[in-house]
Amino acid sequence: MRLFSVVAIVILFGFLFVGILHLHPVGEALGNSEVLQGRPEQGIDINGVSTMDDYFLRNGQIETKSNNIVASVVFDYRGFDTLGEATVLFIVVSSISMLFFTFLKSKSIVSAGVPPAGQFPKIESRVISFGSFIMYIMILSFGVYLVVHGHISPGGGFQGGSVMASATALLLISFLITRHMQRTRKIFSFFESMGLTIFIGLGFAGITISFLYNFLAHTSSGFGRIIAFGPNQGYLISAGILPLLSLAVGIEVFFGLSLIVVTLFHASGVKDTNSLR
Amino acid sequence: MSAIVLYVTFILLLTIGIIALLFKRNLIKIVLAFNILDSGINLFFISLGYRENAMAPIFTLAPLDSVITMVLPTPQALILTNIVIGFATTALMLGVSVLTYRNNNTLDTRKLRGVEEYD
Amino acid sequence: MIKHVPIVLVAIPLLAAFMIPMIGMINRTARTVIGAIALVIILAASYYIAGDVLNHGRIFYYMVGSSNPEIVTEHGLTFPIRIGLKIDSFSLFFIIMTTTLVFIFYLFSIQYIEENERKNYFTVLFISMVAGMMGLLVANDLFTFFVFLEILSISSAALVAFRTERKHPPYAGYKYMFISAVATSFFLLGIAFLYAQYGSFNIDYLKEAVRGTLLDKIAIVLLIIPLAMKSGVVPMHMWIPDTYSEAPAPISAMVKLGSLICLYGLFRISFSFGLSHAHVSYPLGVLFIVFGILSMFIGVTQALVQKDVKRLMAFHAVSQVGYMLLGMGVGLTVVRAGDASFALFGKVAMIGGLLHVVNNALYKGLLFLTSGVLVRHFKTRNLDAMHGLAHYDVFTTVVFMIAALAISGIPPFNGFVSKIIIYESVFQYNPVLTLIAIFVSILTLASFMKVFYSAFLGMPSNKRPMEQPVLIKCSMIVLAFFIVVIGIYPHGILKALIEPAVNALVNF
């Protein structure tokens, strides 16, 4: 068995090594790299566009009205993948809730160092409780900033949502919300599926043309404001449905990750007397 | 030329991950090995879209030159997806390892293997 | 509205899955009904487009988010920029099979899984699994394929570990998740190698672009091996017995269906990228045949020695995959070797292989469902501890007989049809392969005789079995009905579904 594994590793290593040798050198990606040269101000320009990425770089800003081309790829051109990715997160949250359901409900749980659910621990230090509350507000607002500005600067629903979920983890380790564990989980679960329903609802809103069609970007005011091609200072209300999708994903990721953190924290904080034996 | 270090790191990460996957016996360590492997693949995918002296594909406050060189956006978008998927996989695997430990009092694959129990 | 069918097949189950946690908090019946409605909608949609695709050869393209979703390349470009979905007769064959079977399994699971708050999550994961399957079947984009493969495997892994109060299911779920995670990681690596050269993920575009260089071959191997791993082909089958035996019965059937859908991906990718170059397609075909023979033989010999009824059926699942790979592999080796031999037996072998896919999904599903009934009655999976069910429960006995005779290839049932097609066509390619296949079939019959003898015959047990609930009975009757109908009148499905599917596959 061990010999077989070694042989398999060597074969795979050889495969990859040969593959890497035949690849293009690092730093010389496909397509041509100039973005602005000879670019008309409006309208789709496909002169000299030889790959998918060239098209995104040259026309993404005009077509989706988003300054962040990565965001326009994530939410517009490949929005269906993002829906699938959000679904993966949703599935994992449901799985974790399902798997730990009987574990957390069982009566035989005893405390193991960490305060058990249902008892509000006595917070030793005012500094910890007040400090973590301040930090909580700050982390949360930074996360909201990342979510809301996803289409004009680095960030977006996933990144901002995970930043916000880390605030939940801070609350947990400073023992601020161990009291209403069950109810907290229910609320989180509700908002998580609400975020995803908003996402897929926005997808269905454009179904007269196609699913996940960026219908707001084709108006010329509000979210569809016309943006000249090239660098600008960034407009918060722009990019069609991308900010809304980003917001929906942000809600989903925040509540989903918080639910995972809360459930696993709760599960590791209790130790049962092993009902099997 | 120094950018070749990206590919080398990818191969190293992948090899470390696979060796750990095959030879480690602890469920938690296997999860860590999978994470190493996954980050190797993420690094490889990102480095496919890398261009020398290029900037991130974001137009907000970009330099007002006549020509801007940008890295490819698609690998970044896809790796964002893969990071989330990797996170989700890790969370689920850790969750079931907690339950496995609770039910069997061990995380060692050798002790978990070959237990015959009909139910 | 008909042009939106490809996206509806994926989006409706997703929508239902997202809404179920909210609705389940309010009303439990509403939750079950919403799941059923979603499954009925995709069932109706798949039959709705069947006439167009199968009779008129229409191919549905759908570019998600495009202003004109039926145009593959926008703005006069030569390559697609958005995610493409595609339904042709090959994928429609699998879609019809999947939508029908998941509905039956859902009916079974409504009354099989006990009703409590966890069933919310069970329903969510079940519907997500269906969404993953549909996404795999309609995707024309490698990365979308990867994402939905993850959806399928994560929800399956969680459901495999559903019985958390028992000792082994969490570990079985861990094992399945681990295998899937590693497999999909390497699948992504294969995608990366193709993207690095051609800058696209669209399968149709890549099919034209692939030149059969060394890098392409590495990429194809990296794409194919993970899918073979997920469909349980023999060198990579170590996850199968644990997964199938620890999961609840409807989930075993669903995971089996999921592995058949990974087989769909395997065929699709190998035929797309292999056919245009004979030096790629021939080794691939030989690889399929070797995998097939190994799976058939090792699967059935392992099954013979099992004493655990679900492990036994799991090993038979491995062995049955071998038949499909054998048929398709023979087709793939000769498809470019010259039109004469292909017309003579290659196409017939592929027809046999595909017919075996649907047959196997039917009787394997029925076997897993009956094994669930057995385990629930005897409270054990050990065959030695079971006896005498036939004295009381005639219904389960008859249903099990039908499935067991079908899997062993006994004439009036559907297994016989596909097996005889495979035997005859493979015989003209290489008689030894046919001999091995017949031998495996005999061993299959022997091991199911063992199950029948120990579980159904013998002393009647003291406890009278409880009457099966109506939905469980209905779902099993429908499956048995399909088995008998395909066995007696195979021309219908052959003409209507399989031949268009094979034609689409050859012209990939």
Say how many Å lie between the first and final Cα of chain C, rounded.
27
pLDDT above 70 coverage of chain C, percent: 98
Distance from CA of C22 to the nearest CA of A (A): 6
Q: Note the pLDDT of residue C265.
A: 92
Q: Tell me: the pLDDT tens digits for A214-271?
A: 888 777 777 877 777 777 887 888 778 888 889 999 999 999 998 888 888 777 654 4
Residues 6 or more apart from B92 whose CB is under 8 A from it?
A92, A95, A96, C154, C157, C158, C177
Average pLDDT over residues C31-60: 89
| Interchain contact, A81 vs C144, CB within 8 Å | yes
Question: Does A116 have pLDDT greater than 70?
Answer: no
What's C64's DSSP letter?
T
Q: Please tell me which residue of chain B has the smallest CA distance to A104.
A: B99
Q: Note the pLDDT of residue A39.
A: 67
Q: Tell me: the pLDDT tens digits for A7-26?
A: 888 888 888 888 888 887 77
- For chain C, the chains sharing at least 3 beta-carbon pairs closer than 8 angstroms are A, B
| pLDDT bracket for residue A110 (50, 70, 90) | very low
Say yes or no: B101 contacts chain A, CB-CB below 8 A: no
| Interchain contact, A200 vs C167, CB within 8 Å | no
| Interchain contact, C150 vs B97, CB within 8 Å | no
The residue ranking higher by pLDDT, B77 or C165, is B77
Say yes or no: B12 contacts chain A, CB-CB below 8 A: no
Nearest to C121 among A22, A97, A213 (CB): A97
Average pLDDT over residues C29-38: 89
Q: Note the pLDDT of residue A179.
A: 55
SS3 B60: strand
Angstrom distance (rounded) from CA C118 to CA A100: 10
Q: Note the pLDDT of residue A273.
A: 39
Contact list in C for residue B118 (CB cut-off 8 A) is 308, 380-382, 385
Say yes or no: C98 contacts chain A, CB-CB below 8 A: no
Question: In sequence order, what are the beta bridge partners of C134?
Answer: none
Q: Which of B37, B39, B74, B96 to mutate to test the interface with C (most CBs of C within 10 A)?
A: B96
Angstrom distance (rounded) from CA C42 to CA C471: 20
Question: Does C307 have pLDDT greater than 70?
Answer: yes
Say yes or no: A44 contacts chain B, CB-CB below 8 A: no
Nearest to C178 among B74, B93, B112 (CB): B93
| Interchain contact, C158 vs A276, CB within 8 Å | no
Angstrom distance (rounded) from CA C469 to CA C482: 21
Contact C141, C105 (CB under 8 A): no
What's A65's DSSP letter?
-
Nearest to B78 among C143, C182, C196 (CB): C143
Contact list in A for residue C80 (CB cut-off 8 A) is 52
Q: Within chain C, how many helices (H) and strands (E) appear?
A: 21, 2
Average pLDDT over chain C, rounded to an integer:
87
Distance from CA of B103 to the nearest CA of A (A): 7
Selected residues 181-240 of chain A with any CB under 8 Å from a CB in chain B:
230-234
Crossing angle for the helix pair C214-230 and C169-198, nearest 10 degrees? 160
Contact C507, C336 (CB under 8 A): no
Say yes or no: A46 contacts chain B, CB-CB below 8 A: no
Burial of C278 per CB tally in 10 Å (0-12, 13-18, 19+):
middle
Q: Please tell me which residue of chain A has the smallest CA distance to B48.
A: A29
Where would I find the H helices in chain A?
2-22, 52-64, 69-72, 79-99, 101-105, 126-148, 157-173, 181-205, 242-269
| Interchain contact, A74 vs B14, CB within 8 Å | no
* Maximum C-alpha span of chain B: 72
Residues 6 or more apart from A130 whose CB is under 8 A from it?
none
- For chain B, the chains sharing at least 3 beta-carbon pairs closer than 8 angstroms are A, C
Angstrom distance (rounded) from CA A58 to CA A51: 11
- Per-residue tokens: C370: 């009956």
Angstrom distance (rounded) from CA C457 to CA C451: 9
Nearest to C331 by CA among C431, C425, C223: C425
Per-residue CA distances from B110 to B25, B26, B106, C248, C294 (Å): 7, 9, 10, 25, 27
Say yes or no: C118 contacts chain A, CB-CB below 8 A: yes
Selected residues 130-159 of chain C with any CB under 8 Å from a CB in chain A:
131, 135, 143-144, 147-148, 150-151, 154-155, 157-158
| Interchain contact, C18 vs A30, CB within 8 Å | no
SS3 A240: coil
What's C4's DSSP letter?
G
Residue C324: count of CB within 10 angstroms of its CB = 28
Q: Note the pLDDT of residue C103.
A: 93
Crossing angle for the helix pair B27-48 and B73-104, nearest 10 degrees? 180
Question: Does C493 have pLDDT greater than 90?
Answer: no
Phi-psi region of A227 (alpha: psi -120 to 50; beta: other; left: phi over 0): beta
Contact list in B for residue A68 (CB cut-off 8 A) is 57-60
Rg (CA), chain A: 24
Crossing angle for the helix pair C118-138 and C28-48, nearest 10 degrees? 10
Amino acid sitting at position C410: I
| Interchain contact, A95 vs B22, CB within 8 Å | no
Residue A234: count of CB within 10 angstroms of its CB = 18
Question: Does A178 have pLDDT greater than 70?
Answer: no
| Interchain contact, C82 vs A19, CB within 8 Å | no
Question: In sequence order, what are the beta bridge partners of A104?
Answer: none
Say yes or no: C278 contacts chain A, CB-CB below 8 A: no
Q: Tell me: the pLDDT tens digits for C316-352?
A: 999 999 999 998 888 888 877 666 666 678 888 889 9
Angstrom distance (rounded) from CA A253 to CA C23: 20
| Interchain contact, C196 vs B48, CB within 8 Å | yes
Q: Which of C188, C193, C371 to mutate to test the interface with B (most CBs of B within 10 A)?
A: C188
Q: Note the pLDDT of residue B116.
A: 54
